[in-house]
Amino acid sequence: MNAVFFNTLLRRTVCYVLFIPCSLSVALPSVAETRATVLWYLEQEAGNEPWEVRYIITDHYLRSDQGDGSVDFVLLDRREKQIYNVVEDSRTILNIDGRGETGKRPEALDIEVKRSHDSDAPTLEGQDSTTLKLFADGELCYSSVVVEGLMDDSRDAFEAFADVLAVQQQRSKGNTPAEYITPCFQARYLYKADFDVALGLPVITWGPKGEHRQLLRYERDVVIDDALFELPKDYEQYQPLAP
């Protein structure tokens, strides 16, 4: 599934008190809000132009969209291990159930994650980064630069997202053409889908076919409207076809 991933929605409430003789004051309904960490990444798939994606992360949810006014979005319920991909045009919600296991890695499949430290690699808040390279049967599959110990709750949300997708990938493996189930495919999307986010917050990630993802900016303790974590009630929900 290629989820459409979507600038910080800061909702500020300004209260005006009007003193009008002989009038009754009316209290405006309050907007339910929560505080979140918001991260912006520049993402690019092979052969496509890059686009900016916003991630809003709370202790309960991860929402990704393209900023204020986005009608299409992806929502992860971290507690229930459910991903919802909301598409306005079709008025549908694809529900991916992450409850389950990815299964045991085939003994013949050799997966390795190599770590290195480069003095020229980017740092965040004074913390050094680690370069990770994912190999399967000796072939380089994916690379990522992460910062350990920074915004661990955001890192944990990204890991939970990867894990849900891995469970679904295992469940739908029977629908995947055999020619696509390569060692790198199994490493990247099944058995080591969290190879980087299990260790640290991704700063730069790239693949051999031109895939690229780079952290642009982030902000902590942002006030967010709780409505952003609600699913449209009149959309049709469906799940991926079982094999």
What pLDDT is recorded for position 242? 72
Beta-bridged to residue 225, according to DSSP, are: 33
Residue 21's SS3 state is coil
CB 37 within 8 A of CB 218: yes
What pLDDT is recorded for position 32? 78
Indicate the pLDDT class of residue 8, thresholds 50, 70 and 90.
very low
Asked if residue 109 has pLDDT above 60, the reply is yes
- CA 65 – CA 88 distance, rounded (Å): 13
The dihedral formed by the CA atoms of 51, 241, 186 and 215, expressed in degrees to the nearest 10: 20
- pLDDT tens profile 178-228: 999 999 999 999 999 999 999 999 999 999 999 999 999 999 999 999 999
Indicate the pLDDT class of residue 31, thresholds 50, 70 and 90.
low
Q: Which domains does the chain have, with CATH numbers?
A: 33-238 (2.50.20.10)
Q: What is the DSSP letter of 144?
A: E
Q: What is the pTM of this model?
A: 0.85
Q: What is the mean pLDDT of residues 171-179?
A: 90
The dihedral formed by the CA atoms of 100, 80, 58 and 144, expressed in degrees to the nearest 10: 10
Question: Lowest mean pLDDT: which of 116-120, 147-151, 216-220, 225-229?
Answer: 116-120
Q: What is the CA radius of gyration of the chain?
A: 21
Q: What is the mean pLDDT of residues 159-173?
A: 96
Region of 189 please: left (phi>0), alpha (psi -120 to 50) or beta: alpha
Indicate the pLDDT class of residue 121, thresholds 50, 70 and 90.
confident
- Average per-residue pLDDT in the chain? 87
Asked if residue 24 has pLDDT above 60, the reply is no
Q: What is the mean pLDDT of residues 135-146?
A: 98
Asked if residue 3 has pLDDT above 90, the reply is no
Q: What is the mean pLDDT of residues 61-81?
A: 97
Long-range Cβ pairs for the range 125-132 (8 Å, 24+): 125/150, 129/200, 129/203, 130/199, 130/200, 132/195, 132/196, 132/199
Largest CA distance in the chain: 83
- CA 42 – CA 65 distance, rounded (Å): 12
Query: From start to end of 66-188, where are the E strands?
Result: 73-77, 82-87, 92-97, 111-116, 130-136, 139-147
- CA 109 – CA 103 distance, rounded (Å): 13
